[in-house]
A = this chain, B = another copy of it.
Amino acid sequence: MNPSSSDATSWTPGRPLRVALLGCGVVGTEVARLLTRDADELAQRVGAPMELVGIAVRRLGRDRDLDVPDELFTTDAAGLVSRGDIDVVIEVIGGIDLARDLILSALEHGASVVTANKALLAEDGATLFEAAHKAERDLYFEAAVAGAIPIVRPLRESLAGDRVQRVLGIVNGTTNFILDAMTTTGQGFSEALDEAQRLGYAEADPTADIEGFDAASKAAILAGLAFHTRVTIGDVHREGITDVSAADVRSADEMGCVVKLLAICERRETPDGPAVSARVHPAMIPRSHPLASVRGAYNAVFVESEAAGELMFYGPGAGGAPTASAVLGDVVSVARNRRSDVFGPGESTHAQLEVLDMGRARTRYHVSIDVDDRAGVLASVAGAFAEYDVSIKTVRQEGSGSDAQLVIVTHEAEDAALSATVASLRGLDMVRDVTSVMRVEGGF
Protein backbone atom coordinates (compact mmCIF):
# COMPACT_ATOMS: atom_id res chain seq x y z
CA MET A 1 0.00 0.00 0.00
CA ASN A 2 1.14 3.50 -0.68
CA PRO A 3 -0.15 6.61 1.05
CA SER A 4 -2.04 8.63 -1.47
CA SER A 5 -1.17 12.26 -1.97
CA SER A 6 -4.21 13.16 -4.05
CA ASP A 7 -6.68 15.33 -2.24
CA ALA A 8 -9.64 15.16 -4.59
CA THR A 9 -11.56 13.00 -2.12
CA SER A 10 -10.19 12.65 1.35
CA TRP A 11 -12.16 10.72 3.85
CA THR A 12 -12.53 12.25 7.29
CA PRO A 13 -13.67 10.29 10.33
CA GLY A 14 -17.36 10.64 10.93
CA ARG A 15 -18.57 10.68 7.35
CA PRO A 16 -19.52 7.48 5.57
CA LEU A 17 -17.59 6.26 2.55
CA ARG A 18 -19.69 7.07 -0.51
CA VAL A 19 -20.23 4.27 -2.99
CA ALA A 20 -21.66 4.65 -6.50
CA LEU A 21 -22.89 1.67 -8.48
CA LEU A 22 -22.82 1.66 -12.29
CA GLY A 23 -25.23 -0.95 -13.63
CA CYS A 24 -28.10 -2.71 -11.95
CA GLY A 25 -28.47 -5.97 -13.82
CA VAL A 26 -28.08 -9.41 -12.27
CA VAL A 27 -24.79 -8.61 -10.57
CA GLY A 28 -25.53 -4.97 -9.75
CA THR A 29 -28.83 -5.83 -8.09
CA GLU A 30 -27.12 -8.37 -5.86
CA VAL A 31 -24.33 -5.92 -4.99
CA ALA A 32 -26.87 -3.25 -4.04
CA ARG A 33 -28.87 -5.75 -2.02
CA LEU A 34 -25.87 -6.94 0.02
CA LEU A 35 -24.44 -3.43 0.48
CA THR A 36 -27.77 -2.38 1.96
CA ARG A 37 -28.67 -5.49 3.94
CA ASP A 38 -25.22 -6.01 5.44
CA ALA A 39 -24.39 -2.34 5.98
CA ASP A 40 -23.65 -2.72 9.70
CA GLU A 41 -21.43 -5.75 9.27
CA LEU A 42 -19.58 -4.19 6.33
CA ALA A 43 -19.01 -1.02 8.36
CA GLN A 44 -17.26 -3.13 11.00
CA ARG A 45 -15.08 -4.77 8.42
CA VAL A 46 -14.14 -1.53 6.68
CA GLY A 47 -13.78 0.45 9.87
CA ALA A 48 -16.25 3.07 8.63
CA PRO A 49 -19.80 3.00 7.34
CA MET A 50 -20.40 2.86 3.59
CA GLU A 51 -23.31 4.63 1.96
CA LEU A 52 -24.71 3.75 -1.44
CA VAL A 53 -25.27 7.22 -2.91
CA GLY A 54 -26.24 6.48 -6.48
CA ILE A 55 -27.08 3.73 -8.94
CA ALA A 56 -26.66 4.46 -12.64
CA VAL A 57 -29.10 2.56 -14.83
CA ARG A 58 -30.08 2.70 -18.48
CA ARG A 59 -33.76 3.19 -17.74
CA LEU A 60 -35.58 4.36 -14.63
CA GLY A 61 -38.78 2.88 -13.34
CA ARG A 62 -38.07 -0.81 -13.67
CA ASP A 63 -39.21 -2.97 -10.82
CA ARG A 64 -35.90 -4.04 -9.34
CA ASP A 65 -36.90 -5.82 -6.15
CA LEU A 66 -34.43 -3.72 -4.19
CA ASP A 67 -34.99 -2.03 -0.88
CA VAL A 68 -33.28 1.25 -1.80
CA PRO A 69 -34.80 4.74 -2.19
CA ASP A 70 -36.00 5.56 -5.72
CA GLU A 71 -34.00 8.77 -5.77
CA LEU A 72 -30.73 6.80 -5.81
CA PHE A 73 -31.40 5.73 -9.37
CA THR A 74 -30.12 7.92 -12.15
CA THR A 75 -29.57 7.60 -15.87
CA ASP A 76 -26.71 10.08 -15.66
CA ALA A 77 -23.77 7.77 -15.03
CA ALA A 78 -21.25 10.38 -16.17
CA GLY A 79 -22.67 12.90 -13.73
CA LEU A 80 -22.61 10.37 -10.90
CA VAL A 81 -18.93 9.45 -11.27
CA SER A 82 -17.85 13.08 -11.65
CA ARG A 83 -19.64 14.42 -8.57
CA GLY A 84 -16.26 14.64 -6.90
CA ASP A 85 -17.36 13.26 -3.54
CA ILE A 86 -17.50 9.55 -4.38
CA ASP A 87 -15.00 7.25 -2.66
CA VAL A 88 -15.70 3.99 -4.48
CA VAL A 89 -17.24 3.38 -7.90
CA ILE A 90 -18.42 -0.13 -8.77
CA GLU A 91 -18.60 -0.76 -12.52
CA VAL A 92 -20.79 -3.68 -13.57
CA ILE A 93 -22.30 -2.34 -16.78
CA GLY A 94 -19.85 -4.23 -19.02
CA GLY A 95 -18.94 -3.27 -22.58
CA ILE A 96 -15.95 -1.26 -23.64
CA ASP A 97 -16.26 2.41 -24.51
CA LEU A 98 -18.80 3.72 -22.01
CA ALA A 99 -17.33 1.65 -19.19
CA ARG A 100 -13.83 2.95 -19.95
CA ASP A 101 -14.98 6.56 -20.02
CA LEU A 102 -16.79 6.16 -16.71
CA ILE A 103 -13.91 4.40 -14.98
CA LEU A 104 -11.41 7.01 -16.18
CA SER A 105 -13.68 9.82 -15.04
CA ALA A 106 -14.24 8.15 -11.66
CA LEU A 107 -10.48 7.83 -11.09
CA GLU A 108 -9.86 11.42 -12.18
CA HIS A 109 -12.49 12.56 -9.72
CA GLY A 110 -10.83 10.80 -6.81
CA ALA A 111 -12.75 7.54 -6.56
CA SER A 112 -11.26 4.07 -6.38
CA VAL A 113 -12.85 1.61 -8.78
CA VAL A 114 -14.00 -1.99 -8.51
CA THR A 115 -14.88 -3.60 -11.83
CA ALA A 116 -15.97 -6.99 -13.14
CA ASN A 117 -15.26 -5.96 -16.73
CA LYS A 118 -12.93 -8.64 -18.12
CA ALA A 119 -13.40 -7.56 -21.75
CA LEU A 120 -12.31 -4.00 -21.05
CA LEU A 121 -9.37 -5.06 -18.87
CA ALA A 122 -8.18 -7.52 -21.49
CA GLU A 123 -8.51 -4.99 -24.29
CA ASP A 124 -7.21 -1.85 -22.66
CA GLY A 125 -6.22 -2.53 -19.06
CA ALA A 126 -3.07 -0.45 -19.48
CA THR A 127 -5.03 2.80 -19.91
CA LEU A 128 -7.06 2.09 -16.79
CA PHE A 129 -4.13 1.01 -14.63
CA GLU A 130 -2.10 4.02 -15.68
CA ALA A 131 -5.00 6.30 -14.80
CA ALA A 132 -5.37 4.62 -11.40
CA HIS A 133 -1.65 4.96 -10.77
CA LYS A 134 -1.72 8.64 -11.72
CA ALA A 135 -4.78 9.29 -9.57
CA GLU A 136 -3.29 7.31 -6.67
CA ARG A 137 -6.44 5.26 -6.46
CA ASP A 138 -7.20 1.53 -6.54
CA LEU A 139 -8.50 -0.41 -9.52
CA TYR A 140 -9.57 -3.86 -8.26
CA PHE A 141 -11.08 -6.60 -10.40
CA GLU A 142 -11.37 -9.94 -8.57
CA ALA A 143 -14.79 -10.51 -10.17
CA ALA A 144 -13.39 -10.24 -13.70
CA VAL A 145 -11.87 -13.73 -13.63
CA ALA A 146 -13.68 -16.88 -12.52
CA GLY A 147 -16.51 -15.15 -10.64
CA ALA A 148 -16.47 -15.84 -6.93
CA ILE A 149 -13.18 -17.74 -6.97
CA PRO A 150 -10.42 -15.73 -5.35
CA ILE A 151 -7.70 -15.91 -7.99
CA VAL A 152 -6.64 -12.33 -8.71
CA ARG A 153 -5.61 -11.64 -5.12
CA PRO A 154 -3.76 -14.96 -4.71
CA LEU A 155 -1.81 -14.37 -7.93
CA ARG A 156 -1.15 -10.73 -7.16
CA GLU A 157 -0.32 -11.11 -3.48
CA SER A 158 -0.11 -14.66 -2.10
CA LEU A 159 2.21 -15.84 -4.88
CA ALA A 160 4.13 -12.56 -5.05
CA GLY A 161 7.20 -14.25 -3.60
CA ASP A 162 7.07 -17.24 -5.92
CA ARG A 163 7.60 -17.90 -9.63
CA VAL A 164 4.48 -19.04 -11.45
CA GLN A 165 5.24 -21.47 -14.27
CA ARG A 166 1.81 -22.25 -15.67
CA VAL A 167 -1.85 -21.39 -15.16
CA LEU A 168 -4.47 -23.78 -16.55
CA GLY A 169 -7.99 -22.50 -16.13
CA ILE A 170 -11.52 -23.65 -16.75
CA VAL A 171 -12.79 -20.10 -16.74
CA ASN A 172 -15.99 -20.28 -18.75
CA GLY A 173 -18.96 -22.04 -17.20
CA THR A 174 -21.06 -22.22 -20.37
CA THR A 175 -18.48 -24.17 -22.33
CA ASN A 176 -17.67 -26.39 -19.36
CA PHE A 177 -21.36 -27.19 -18.98
CA ILE A 178 -21.61 -28.09 -22.68
CA LEU A 179 -18.45 -30.22 -22.74
CA ASP A 180 -19.46 -31.92 -19.49
CA ALA A 181 -22.86 -32.75 -20.98
CA MET A 182 -21.20 -34.14 -24.11
CA THR A 183 -18.92 -36.27 -21.89
CA THR A 184 -21.71 -37.52 -19.67
CA THR A 185 -24.40 -38.17 -22.26
CA GLY A 186 -22.50 -38.68 -25.52
CA GLN A 187 -24.44 -35.76 -27.04
CA GLY A 188 -23.02 -33.78 -29.92
CA PHE A 189 -22.15 -30.11 -29.61
CA SER A 190 -25.42 -28.66 -30.96
CA GLU A 191 -27.64 -30.83 -28.78
CA ALA A 192 -25.60 -29.93 -25.71
CA LEU A 193 -25.71 -26.24 -26.61
CA ASP A 194 -29.49 -26.42 -27.03
CA GLU A 195 -29.81 -27.97 -23.61
CA ALA A 196 -27.50 -25.37 -22.05
CA GLN A 197 -29.62 -22.61 -23.57
CA ARG A 198 -32.83 -24.23 -22.36
CA LEU A 199 -31.44 -24.45 -18.81
CA GLY A 200 -30.10 -20.90 -18.81
CA TYR A 201 -26.40 -21.86 -18.87
CA ALA A 202 -25.92 -20.39 -22.34
CA GLU A 203 -27.19 -17.10 -23.69
CA ALA A 204 -29.43 -16.71 -26.74
CA ASP A 205 -26.34 -15.46 -28.59
CA PRO A 206 -23.68 -17.76 -27.17
CA THR A 207 -20.83 -16.51 -29.38
CA ALA A 208 -18.71 -14.89 -26.65
CA ASP A 209 -18.69 -18.13 -24.71
CA ILE A 210 -18.53 -20.90 -27.29
CA GLU A 211 -16.02 -19.13 -29.53
CA GLY A 212 -13.73 -18.60 -26.53
CA PHE A 213 -13.76 -14.78 -26.43
CA ASP A 214 -14.77 -14.69 -22.76
CA ALA A 215 -12.09 -17.22 -21.80
CA ALA A 216 -9.50 -15.35 -23.87
CA SER A 217 -10.16 -12.13 -21.94
CA LYS A 218 -9.61 -14.01 -18.71
CA ALA A 219 -6.46 -15.67 -20.09
CA ALA A 220 -5.03 -12.24 -20.88
CA ILE A 221 -5.73 -11.03 -17.35
CA LEU A 222 -4.35 -14.20 -15.73
CA ALA A 223 -1.20 -14.14 -17.86
CA GLY A 224 -0.57 -10.51 -16.98
CA LEU A 225 -0.91 -11.22 -13.26
CA ALA A 226 1.09 -14.43 -13.30
CA PHE A 227 4.01 -13.17 -15.33
CA HIS A 228 4.21 -9.45 -14.49
CA THR A 229 3.82 -8.65 -18.16
CA ARG A 230 1.23 -6.70 -20.08
CA VAL A 231 -0.91 -9.16 -22.05
CA THR A 232 -3.95 -8.13 -24.08
CA ILE A 233 -6.66 -10.22 -25.68
CA GLY A 234 -4.89 -9.64 -29.00
CA ASP A 235 -1.95 -11.67 -27.65
CA VAL A 236 -4.13 -14.66 -26.82
CA HIS A 237 -4.55 -17.47 -29.34
CA ARG A 238 -8.22 -18.40 -29.32
CA GLU A 239 -10.17 -21.46 -30.48
CA GLY A 240 -13.72 -22.19 -29.32
CA ILE A 241 -15.52 -25.47 -28.84
CA THR A 242 -17.84 -25.45 -31.85
CA ASP A 243 -15.70 -28.01 -33.68
CA VAL A 244 -15.53 -30.46 -30.79
CA SER A 245 -17.40 -33.57 -31.86
CA ALA A 246 -18.91 -36.48 -29.98
CA ALA A 247 -16.16 -38.56 -31.60
CA ASP A 248 -13.47 -36.32 -30.07
CA VAL A 249 -15.03 -36.78 -26.67
CA ARG A 250 -15.09 -40.55 -27.20
CA SER A 251 -11.45 -40.59 -28.33
CA ALA A 252 -10.53 -38.64 -25.21
CA ASP A 253 -12.42 -41.14 -23.09
CA GLU A 254 -10.54 -44.04 -24.70
CA MET A 255 -7.31 -42.31 -23.74
CA GLY A 256 -8.48 -41.88 -20.13
CA CYS A 257 -9.05 -38.18 -20.78
CA VAL A 258 -11.82 -35.60 -20.88
CA VAL A 259 -12.15 -32.60 -23.18
CA LYS A 260 -12.09 -29.17 -21.53
CA LEU A 261 -11.85 -25.64 -22.88
CA LEU A 262 -8.67 -24.41 -21.20
CA ALA A 263 -7.16 -20.99 -20.74
CA ILE A 264 -3.44 -21.72 -20.66
CA CYS A 265 -0.81 -19.22 -19.60
CA GLU A 266 2.75 -20.48 -19.58
CA ARG A 267 6.20 -19.19 -18.92
CA ARG A 268 8.65 -20.64 -21.43
CA GLU A 269 12.39 -20.48 -21.57
CA THR A 270 13.43 -19.69 -25.14
CA PRO A 271 16.90 -19.15 -26.62
CA ASP A 272 16.15 -15.42 -26.32
CA GLY A 273 15.22 -15.66 -22.64
CA PRO A 274 12.00 -16.26 -20.74
CA ALA A 275 8.77 -15.64 -22.61
CA VAL A 276 5.04 -16.05 -22.14
CA SER A 277 2.39 -17.94 -24.04
CA ALA A 278 -1.36 -17.37 -23.59
CA ARG A 279 -3.97 -19.40 -25.39
CA VAL A 280 -7.50 -20.72 -25.22
CA HIS A 281 -8.50 -23.93 -26.94
CA PRO A 282 -10.20 -27.25 -26.26
CA ALA A 283 -7.78 -29.87 -25.01
CA MET A 284 -7.74 -33.39 -23.67
CA ILE A 285 -6.63 -33.70 -20.06
CA PRO A 286 -6.21 -36.94 -18.09
CA ARG A 287 -9.12 -37.91 -15.87
CA SER A 288 -6.68 -37.99 -12.95
CA HIS A 289 -5.93 -34.28 -13.33
CA PRO A 290 -7.72 -32.15 -10.71
CA LEU A 291 -9.30 -30.03 -13.47
CA ALA A 292 -10.92 -33.10 -15.05
CA SER A 293 -13.46 -33.40 -12.24
CA VAL A 294 -14.69 -29.82 -12.56
CA ARG A 295 -18.28 -30.44 -13.55
CA GLY A 296 -21.16 -28.45 -14.96
CA ALA A 297 -20.87 -24.69 -14.96
CA TYR A 298 -18.18 -24.60 -12.26
CA ASN A 299 -14.83 -22.92 -12.86
CA ALA A 300 -11.38 -23.80 -11.57
CA VAL A 301 -7.91 -22.41 -11.95
CA PHE A 302 -4.90 -24.69 -11.58
CA VAL A 303 -1.60 -22.97 -10.87
CA GLU A 304 1.85 -24.53 -11.12
CA SER A 305 4.37 -22.50 -9.23
CA GLU A 306 8.05 -23.14 -8.59
CA ALA A 307 8.02 -23.18 -4.80
CA ALA A 308 4.32 -23.65 -4.00
CA GLY A 309 3.90 -26.57 -6.39
CA GLU A 310 0.41 -27.32 -7.68
CA LEU A 311 -2.50 -25.27 -6.40
CA MET A 312 -6.14 -25.32 -7.45
CA PHE A 313 -8.90 -22.79 -6.87
CA TYR A 314 -12.44 -24.01 -7.49
CA GLY A 315 -15.91 -22.49 -7.34
CA PRO A 316 -18.82 -20.88 -9.17
CA GLY A 317 -17.49 -18.87 -12.08
CA ALA A 318 -20.53 -16.73 -12.74
CA GLY A 319 -23.96 -15.77 -11.47
CA GLY A 320 -25.28 -12.73 -9.63
CA ALA A 321 -24.53 -13.67 -6.04
CA PRO A 322 -21.09 -15.26 -6.59
CA THR A 323 -19.93 -12.34 -8.71
CA ALA A 324 -21.33 -9.91 -6.13
CA SER A 325 -19.30 -11.69 -3.44
CA ALA A 326 -16.09 -11.05 -5.38
CA VAL A 327 -17.11 -7.43 -6.07
CA LEU A 328 -17.88 -6.78 -2.40
CA GLY A 329 -14.59 -8.31 -1.24
CA ASP A 330 -12.86 -5.75 -3.42
CA VAL A 331 -15.17 -2.98 -2.23
CA VAL A 332 -14.18 -3.72 1.38
CA SER A 333 -10.47 -3.67 0.44
CA VAL A 334 -10.58 -0.42 -1.50
CA ALA A 335 -12.88 1.20 1.06
CA ARG A 336 -10.36 0.34 3.82
CA ASN A 337 -7.71 1.94 1.64
CA ARG A 338 -9.80 5.06 1.00
CA ARG A 339 -10.48 5.38 4.72
CA SER A 340 -6.72 5.46 5.29
CA ASP A 341 -6.00 7.42 2.13
CA VAL A 342 -3.64 4.77 0.79
CA PHE A 343 -3.74 2.47 -2.20
CA GLY A 344 -2.88 -1.16 -2.82
CA PRO A 345 -0.60 -2.87 -5.31
CA GLY A 346 -1.27 -1.71 -8.87
CA GLU A 347 -0.46 -3.26 -12.21
CA SER A 348 2.81 -5.20 -12.17
CA THR A 349 4.47 -5.25 -15.58
CA HIS A 350 8.14 -4.96 -14.72
CA ALA A 351 9.04 -8.33 -16.28
CA GLN A 352 7.78 -7.32 -19.74
CA LEU A 353 8.39 -10.80 -21.11
CA GLU A 354 7.94 -11.44 -24.80
CA VAL A 355 4.50 -12.85 -25.60
CA LEU A 356 4.96 -15.74 -28.02
CA ASP A 357 2.59 -16.36 -30.90
CA MET A 358 0.78 -19.69 -31.03
CA GLY A 359 3.27 -21.29 -33.37
CA ARG A 360 5.90 -21.06 -30.65
CA ALA A 361 3.75 -22.47 -27.85
CA ARG A 362 4.76 -25.98 -26.82
CA THR A 363 2.07 -28.63 -26.54
CA ARG A 364 1.18 -32.16 -27.59
CA TYR A 365 -1.27 -33.41 -30.20
CA HIS A 366 -3.74 -36.24 -30.36
CA VAL A 367 -4.35 -37.01 -34.04
CA SER A 368 -6.81 -39.49 -35.53
CA ILE A 369 -6.08 -40.46 -39.12
CA ASP A 370 -8.17 -42.58 -41.51
CA VAL A 371 -5.63 -44.55 -43.50
CA ASP A 372 -5.39 -47.20 -46.18
CA ASP A 373 -4.71 -50.51 -44.47
CA ARG A 374 -1.57 -51.52 -46.33
CA ALA A 375 2.10 -52.13 -45.83
CA GLY A 376 4.17 -48.99 -45.31
CA VAL A 377 1.37 -46.79 -44.07
CA LEU A 378 2.81 -46.40 -40.59
CA ALA A 379 6.26 -45.71 -42.02
CA SER A 380 4.97 -42.94 -44.19
CA VAL A 381 2.82 -41.42 -41.44
CA ALA A 382 5.73 -41.60 -38.99
CA GLY A 383 7.89 -40.00 -41.65
CA ALA A 384 5.61 -36.95 -41.75
CA PHE A 385 6.10 -36.47 -38.01
CA ALA A 386 9.86 -36.99 -38.27
CA GLU A 387 10.05 -34.42 -41.05
CA TYR A 388 9.10 -31.72 -38.55
CA ASP A 389 11.02 -33.20 -35.61
CA VAL A 390 7.83 -34.12 -33.82
CA SER A 391 8.41 -37.14 -31.64
CA ILE A 392 5.62 -39.72 -31.36
CA LYS A 393 4.66 -40.99 -27.93
CA THR A 394 2.07 -43.62 -28.81
CA VAL A 395 0.51 -45.06 -31.96
CA ARG A 396 -2.55 -47.23 -31.94
CA GLN A 397 -4.16 -48.81 -34.98
CA GLU A 398 -7.90 -49.34 -34.81
CA GLY A 399 -10.09 -51.21 -37.26
CA SER A 400 -8.78 -52.66 -40.49
CA GLY A 401 -9.43 -52.56 -44.19
CA SER A 402 -11.50 -49.53 -45.11
CA ASP A 403 -12.05 -48.74 -41.40
CA ALA A 404 -8.38 -48.58 -40.52
CA GLN A 405 -7.47 -45.67 -38.32
CA LEU A 406 -4.26 -44.56 -36.65
CA VAL A 407 -4.47 -42.71 -33.36
CA ILE A 408 -1.25 -40.90 -32.59
CA VAL A 409 -0.21 -38.96 -29.50
CA THR A 410 2.92 -36.88 -29.79
CA HIS A 411 5.50 -35.68 -27.31
CA GLU A 412 5.70 -31.97 -26.69
CA ALA A 413 6.71 -29.84 -29.66
CA GLU A 414 6.16 -26.34 -30.96
CA ASP A 415 2.63 -25.82 -32.19
CA ALA A 416 3.91 -24.67 -35.60
CA ALA A 417 5.72 -27.98 -36.09
CA LEU A 418 2.64 -29.91 -35.04
CA SER A 419 0.34 -28.09 -37.42
CA ALA A 420 2.84 -28.40 -40.27
CA THR A 421 2.92 -32.13 -39.56
CA VAL A 422 -0.86 -32.35 -39.78
CA ALA A 423 -0.84 -30.42 -43.07
CA SER A 424 1.77 -32.78 -44.40
CA LEU A 425 -0.27 -35.82 -43.28
CA ARG A 426 -3.23 -34.47 -45.22
CA GLY A 427 -1.09 -34.55 -48.38
CA LEU A 428 -0.11 -38.20 -48.05
CA ASP A 429 -1.45 -40.75 -50.51
CA MET A 430 -2.30 -43.38 -47.95
CA VAL A 431 -4.10 -40.91 -45.67
CA ARG A 432 -7.78 -40.70 -46.48
CA ASP A 433 -8.58 -38.09 -43.85
CA VAL A 434 -7.23 -36.52 -40.69
CA THR A 435 -10.44 -36.84 -38.72
CA SER A 436 -9.50 -35.18 -35.48
CA VAL A 437 -6.69 -33.07 -34.09
CA MET A 438 -6.71 -32.04 -30.48
CA ARG A 439 -4.08 -30.74 -28.11
CA VAL A 440 -3.28 -32.73 -25.00
CA GLU A 441 -2.48 -30.87 -21.76
CA GLY A 442 -2.07 -31.49 -18.07
CA GLY A 443 0.84 -33.90 -17.85
CA PHE A 444 -0.67 -36.88 -19.66
Count of this chain's copies in the oligomeric assembly: 2
Q: How far is the CA of A430 from the CA of B341 in the complex (A)?
A: 72
Residues of B within 8 A of A310 (CB): 315-316
Query: Restricting to A337-354, which residues have a CB under 8 Å from any CB of B?
Result: 337, 339-342, 344-345, 348, 350-351
In contact, B311 and A312 (Cβ under 8 angstroms): no
**A228-B44, A310-B315, A315-B312 are known contacts. Are A3 and B342 too (CB-CB below 8 A)?**
yes
State which of A121-129, A150-158, A434-442 sits at the interface with chain B. Answer: A150-158
Q: Which residues of B contact A344 (CB under 8 A)?
A: 1
Q: How far is the CB of A347 from chain B (nearest CB, A)?
A: 12
Residue numbers in B under 8 Å from A311 (CB-CB): 148-150, 313-315
Pairwise interchain contact A331-B153, C-beta atoms closer than 8 A: no
Neighbour of A308 across the interface among B290, B325, B332, CB < 8 A = B325
A42 pairs with B313, CB closer than 8 A: no
Partner of A333, one of B41, B160, B324, B350: B160
Provide the residues of chain B in CB contact with A322, threshold 8 Å: 307-309
- Is A312 a contact of B312 with CB atoms below 8 Å? yes
Interface check A58, CB cutoff 8 A? no
Q: Is the CB of A160 within 8 A of B328?
A: yes
Q: Is the CB of A160 within 8 A of B345?
A: no
CB-contact partner of A3 in B290, B330, B341, under 8 A: B341
Q: A329 near B45 (CB under 8 angstroms)?
A: no
User: When the two chains form their complex, are residues B342 and A324 in contact, meaning their CB atoms are under 8 A apart?
Assistant: no
0/1 string, A1-28, CB within 8 A of B gives 1: 1110000000000000000000000000
Q: Verify B3–A340 contact, CB threshold 8 A.
A: yes
Contacts of A376 in B (CB 8 A): none
Contacts of A149 in B (CB 8 A): 311
Could you tell me which residues of chain A, from 66 to 119, have a CB within 8 Å of some CB in chain B? none
Contacts of A148 in B (CB 8 A): 305, 307-309, 311
Please pick, from B1, B30, B158, B306, the residue contacting A142 in the complex, using a CB distance under 8 A: B158
Question: In the complex, are the beta carbons of A308 and B315 less than 8 A apart?
Answer: yes
**Residues of the B chain whose Cβ atoms lie less than 8 Å from the Cβ of A181:** none
What 0/1 readout, one digit per residue, does chain A (285-306) give for beta carbons within 8 Å of chain B?
0000010010000000000011
Q: Does A272 contact B (CB under 8 A)?
A: no
A327 to B: closest C-beta gap in Å: 7
A432 at the interface (CB under 8 A from B): no
Complex contacts, A339 vs chain B, CB 8 Å:
2
A160 and B332: CB pair below 8 A? yes
Contacting pair B153 A154 (CB below 8 A): yes
**Separation of A158 and B44 alpha carbons in the complex (Å):** 16
A34 and B307 contacting across the interface, CB-CB below 8 Å: yes
User: How many angstroms from the CA of A321 to the CA of B319 in the assembled complex?
Assistant: 36
Q: Looking at A158, A314, A328, A350, which has the most chain B CB atoms within 10 Å of its CB?
A: A158
28 A-B residue pairings within 8 Å (CB atoms): A1-B1, A1-B344, A38-B163, A42-B161, A44-B228, A44-B351, A45-B161, A148-B308, A149-B311, A150-B159, A150-B311, A153-B157, A157-B333, A158-B326, A160-B329, A160-B332, A160-B333, A161-B328, A162-B325, A307-B328, A308-B316, A308-B321, A308-B322, A308-B326, A309-B321, A310-B315, A314-B314, A336-B345
Interface pairs A-B: 6 shortest CB-CB: A161-B328, A1-B1, A150-B158, A148-B308, A307-B325, A308-B325
